[in-house]
Structure 1
Amino acid sequence: MDKLVASGGQKNSGTRSANAVRGTLAGFCASLVGIGLARFAYTPLLPAIVDAHWFDPSQAAYLGAANLAGYLIGALAGRPIAAGDRSAICLRGMMILATVAFFACAQPASFIWFFVWRLLSGMAGGVLMVLAAPAVLPLVRPARRGLASGVIFMGVGVGIVASGTLVPLLLEQGLRDTWLGMGVISLALTAIAWNGWPSQAAVPKPHPHPRRASGNRLLRALYVEYALNAVGWVPHMIFLVDFVAHGLGKGLQVGAEHWVLFGIGATVGPVLSGMLADTVGFGRALRTSFVLEAVAVAVPACGLNMVWLMVSSVVVGAIVTGTVPLVLGRLHELLAHHPAQQIPAWSTATIGFALCQALAAYGLTFVFSASGGDYGLLFTIGSAAIVLALATDFIGTSAARHEATQDG
C-alpha cells in the first residue's frame, strides 16, 4: 500500500510538473505574440509603411498610438471578460485576434481599417498581459515561480530582438509579405500555446481572516512604484536610438545596434530577475532592480563613453522586462491568502503602468521639444522617477512595519 501511495504521489507530482512546463510555455508564447510582436514589431514597420506610401508619417504614427490605446482597453477589460472559468477560452481568443490582425494588415486598405486592427491587436496584448501569467503561475511550485514568471515575460524581450533583426529581413521580401510572415509566426505560437492553458484556476483556498491594513499600504505603494517605473524607462524606449543616431551623431546603424542590445537585455532580464527573486525574495529583488535601473537610465545624461552607453542599453532593457515578473511576484506575496484578489490587483497595476507610460511618452516628447532637444534632461527625469519609486518602496515598507509593531 505504501508503495502504491508513493507511486500515486510521484505520478501527481509529475503531472503537475508537466502542466507547469506547458503552462509556462503557453505564457511565453502569449507575451511574445501579444506584446513582443503585436506592439514592438510595428517600430521597424513604421518607416517601411511610409516609404511604401501606404500612409503618410502622421497617419502611421497614429496607427502606433492605436495599439497603445488598445492595450489600455485590454488591461481594463481583461478581468471582466474572463470572469469565472473562462480564462483559457479568453487567452486562446486573444492570441487568435492578435494573429488575425497581422493578416488583416497585409493589404494597403483604408486608414480606418488599419486603425481598428491595430487597436484590436493592442487590446489583445492588454488582455494577455493581465491574464496569462496569473492563470499559469498557480501550477508552478512557489519556489520556482520567479523563474517561471521570468520565462513567461521573456517573450516581450524576444519580440524586441525580433523587431530589430527578423522584421528587417522579412522587409527585404516586401511589406505585404512581412505582415503575412508575422501572422504565420503568431499562428504557430498560438498553436503551441493552445493546450497549455489550465482549464480552471488552480489557486489555493482563501484565508479566512481579513487582510491587514499594512498589506493594503504595501499594495498601494507597489502600484505607485510600478507606475513610476513606466515613466523611468520611457526615455530609453522612445529616445535611445535617436539619441545615439542624432544626439551623438553616430548614425542610424549604430542607433539600431543599441536597440538590439536593449532587446537582448530585455530577453534575459525576466529570467535573471526571476532567479534572483527565487533566491532573495521578490521585495529585495525589486529594490535591487530599481537601484540598477536608476543608475543605468542616468548614464546617457552623464556624457560617458560608448561602452557605458552599451551597458546602459543592456541593463535598462533587462530591467524593463525584469521588473514585470518581480512586481507580479511581489503582488502574489502580498495577496498570498487572498488569491481571488490577485488578478484584479494585477489588472490595476497594469492599468496604472499603461496610463503612466502613455502620459510619460507624451510629456517627455513635449519636454524634449520645449527644451530645444535636450536629451540629457529626458534621461535625468527618467532616473529621478526610478529613485522616487525606490523611495516609495522604502517609505511604504517602513510605514507598514511601524503599523504592524503598533498592532502587535
Structure 2
Amino acid sequence: MGGRPGRDHAGADRLVVALALSAGPLVSLGLARFAYALLLPEMASDLGWSWSQAGALNTANAAGYLLGALAAAPLARRLGTGRAFLLGALVTTLALLLTSLTGGYAVLLLARTAAGVGGAWAFVLGAALVAAAGAGGEPGRAALMLGLYYGGAGGGMTLAGLLVPWVLDRTSGSWQLGWVVLTVLGAVATVVAGLALRHTVEPDPPAAAEHQGWDRRRIGWLSAGYTFFGLGYIAYLTFVIAFLQEQGIGLRTVAVFWVVVGAAASAGWFVWGRLIGRLGGTPAMSVLMVVLAVGTALPVLVTEPWAFFVSGLVVGGTFLSVVTAMTVGVREALPAALWTSGLAFATVAFGVGQTVGPWLTGWFSDVVGSLGAGLVLSAALLVAGAVLALPGVRQAPSPGGGPDT
C-alpha cells in the first residue's frame, strides 16, 4: 500500500498531460475543420460563392490533412515527435489567422490546405505522444488518456458554437472576426500544448527502413473500415446544418445544436470507454460505427426537433470514440516502435475517405434532389465500414502494457 499514492499521483499527472495535449484535436478539428460550418453561410453570402466553391474549401482542408498525415512520421523522425506536434498546432493557428485576413478565394484555398496539413501533424503526433505516455500503465488508464485527448475536438466545437454565433450576431455577420476568435483560441491552446510537452515521453520514431518495411496487413481491415468512417462521418458534419435549415430550424437553434454536438463529443468517452476496453479496438470500432449510422440517419427518418437533438447527441458522443477505438486497435496490433507509423497509415486511409465524402454525398444529394438522401447514404457507408473492419484480429497487450511484438 505504501507505493500506491505515488502511482496514483503519476497516473493523475498523465491524465493532466493528455488533457493538455488535447489542444491538438481542439485546434485541428474543433476549430480549423468543424467550425468552418458555422462561418460558411456568412462567407458564401459576403463573397458571392456558389455551394460548390464553399465545398471546395472543405475539400482543400481534407486534402491538406491527407498530405500532412503522409508526412507525419518522416517529420517526427526529423524534428522529434513533440516538436513536430507543436509545429502542426502553430501552422494550423497561423492558417486560421490568414483566413481572417483575406477574401481572395485562392488565398483561402491555400489557408484551408495549410490548416489541414498542420492539423494532421498536430492530431496524429499528439496521439502518438499520449499513447507513449500511457505505455506501461493499466490498459484502462491508457484508453482513458486517449479518450481525453480526442475529446479536445469536442471542446473546440463547443467553444466555437458558443463564441462564433455570438460574434456574428453582434457584428452584423462579420465572418472575419469569427476567424479572429478562432485564431485566439488556437493560440491559447498551442501555448498550453507547448507547456505540456515538458512532461511528455518522447516516443522513439521508427527508422526509415522500418517505417517503409512493416507489414500494413496487420491493420489492413481496421484501416479499410476507417476509410469508410471518413466517408460517412464528415458528410454529416458538413451538411447537417444545411439540412436543419431546410427543415426551418433557425440560426439560434442551430447554434445550440452545434454546442450539443461538441459537448457530447467531449463527454463521449465516459459513455463508450468501457466498451472499448472490454471489446478491444477493432470490434468496438465496428459497434460504434453502427451507432453512428443510426444517429446520422435519424433526422431524415424523424423530422422532429427532438430527433435532431438526439441525432446530435448520438453523433457527437460517438464519432470521436471511433477514433479512440482505432488508436487502441493500432496499439493492440503493432509494437510500440510502429505506433506512429501505424496511426499515420490509418489516418491516410481515413483522409482519403473524408476527402471524397463531402463531394460524394453532395453529388448524390444533387442526383436524388434531397440532402436527406445524402445523409442516408452516409449512414449506409458507415455500416459498410463497420462490416469491413470485422475481420481485423485483436492482439492482446503484452504484460508491459504495450502490444505484442
Query: Do residues 56 (structure 1) and 55 (structure 2) align?
Result: no
Q: Aligned partner of 2:267: which letter?
A: V
SS at match of 1:57: coil
Distance in 1 separating the partners of 2:305 and 2:131: 40
Query: Do residues 286 (structure 1) and 282 (structure 2) align?
Result: no
1:292–1:50 CA distance, 2 compared to 1 (3 A): closer
1:221–1:244 CA distance, 2 compared to 1 (3 A): same
Q: Would the aligned equivalents of 1:103 and 1:183 in 2 still touch at CA under 8 Å?
A: yes
- The CA deviation string for residues 14-40 of structure 1, in whole angstroms up to 9 with x for no partner, is 774365234302321111012211222
The correspondence for 2:380, drawn from 363, 378, 384, is 384
1:104-253 to 2 correspondence within 5 Å?
A: 104-108=98-102, 110-140=104-134, 141=137, 142-171=139-168, 172-173=170-171, 174-197=174-197, 201-202=202-203, 219-246=219-246, 248-253=247-252
Q: Aligned partner of 2:125: which letter?
A: L
TM-score norm. by structure 2 comes to 0.82
Aligned counterpart, 2:333? 334
Distance in 2 separating the partners of 1:257 and 1:28: 23
- The CA deviation string for residues 320-366 of structure 1, in whole angstroms up to 9 with x for no partner, is 1110111101110111xx21222111111111111111212111111
How many residues were matched structurally? 380
Q: Would the aligned equivalents of 1:272 and 1:322 in 2 still touch at CA under 8 Å?
A: no
Please report how far the alpha carbon of residue 168 of structure 1 lies from its aligned counterpart in structure 2 after TM superposition. 1.5
Q: Aligned partner of 1:259: which letter?
A: W
Distance in 2 separating the partners of 1:145 and 1:50: 43
Please report how far the alpha carbon of residue 154 of structure 1 lies from its aligned counterpart in structure 2 after TM superposition. 0.8
Structure 1 residue ranges without an equivalent (≥5)? 206-212, 401-408
SS at match of 1:114: helix
Aligned counterpart, 2:74? 80
Distance in 2 separating the partners of 1:360 and 1:204: 31
1:50–1:250 CA distance, 2 compared to 1 (3 A): closer
1:310–1:14 CA distance, 2 compared to 1 (3 A): closer
Query: Do residues 41 (structure 1) and 35 (structure 2) align?
Result: yes
1:304–1:272 CA distance, 2 compared to 1 (3 A): same
Please report how far the alpha carbon of residue 101 of structure 1 lies from its aligned counterpart in structure 2 after TM superposition. 2.4
Aligned counterpart, 1:404? none
Please report how far the alpha carbon of residue 287 of structure 1 lies from its aligned counterpart in structure 2 after TM superposition. 3.4
Structure 2 residue ranges without an equivalent (≥5)? 207-213, 396-405
TM-score norm. by structure 1 comes to 0.82
Distance in 2 separating the partners of 1:230 and 1:330: 17
Q: Mean alpha-carbon deviation: is it higher for 178-187 or for 193-202?
A: 193-202
Q: Would the aligned equivalents of 1:71 and 1:126 in 2 still touch at CA under 8 Å?
A: yes
- The CA deviation string for residues 181-205 of structure 1, in whole angstroms up to 9 with x for no partner, is 3222222211111132266534799
Q: Aligned partner of 1:291: which letter?
A: V
Q: Mean alpha-carbon deviation: is it higher for 290-299 or for 186-195?
A: 290-299
Q: Once the two structures are aligned, what percentage of the paired residues are identical?
A: 26
Distance in 2 separating the partners of 1:106 and 1:204: 36
Q: Would the aligned equivalents of 2:235 and 2:378 in 1 still touch at CA under 8 Å?
A: yes
Distance in 2 separating the partners of 1:326 and 1:46: 31
Distance in 1 separating the partners of 2:234 and 2:12: 38
Distance in 2 separating the partners of 1:148 and 1:31: 13
Distance in 2 separating the partners of 1:124 and 1:392: 30
Aligned counterpart, 2:296? 297
1:23–1:300 CA distance, 2 compared to 1 (3 A): same
Distance in 2 separating the partners of 1:37 and 1:43: 10
Q: Based on CA coordinates, which of the two structures has the bigger radius of gyration? A: 1
The correspondence for 1:367, drawn from 360, 364, 369, is 364
Please report how far the alpha carbon of residue 132 of structure 1 lies from its aligned counterpart in structure 2 after TM superposition. 0.5
Q: Would the aligned equivalents of 1:273 and 1:326 in 2 still touch at CA under 8 Å?
A: no
Q: Mean alpha-carbon deviation: is it higher for 265-274 or for 34-43?
A: 265-274
Distance in 1 separating the partners of 2:313 and 2:113: 30
Q: Aligned partner of 2:49: which letter?
A: P
Distance in 2 separating the partners of 1:351 and 1:36: 19
Distance in 1 separating the partners of 2:167 and 2:249: 26
Please report how far the alpha carbon of residue 131 of structure 1 lies from its aligned counterpart in structure 2 after TM superposition. 0.8
Aligned counterpart, 1:209? none
1:69–1:391 CA distance, 2 compared to 1 (3 A): closer
Q: Would the aligned equivalents of 2:361 and 2:378 in 1 still touch at CA under 8 Å?
A: no
1:269–1:107 CA distance, 2 compared to 1 (3 A): same
- The CA deviation string for residues 79-107 of structure 1, in whole angstroms up to 9 with x for no partner, is 11111661111112222222222333333
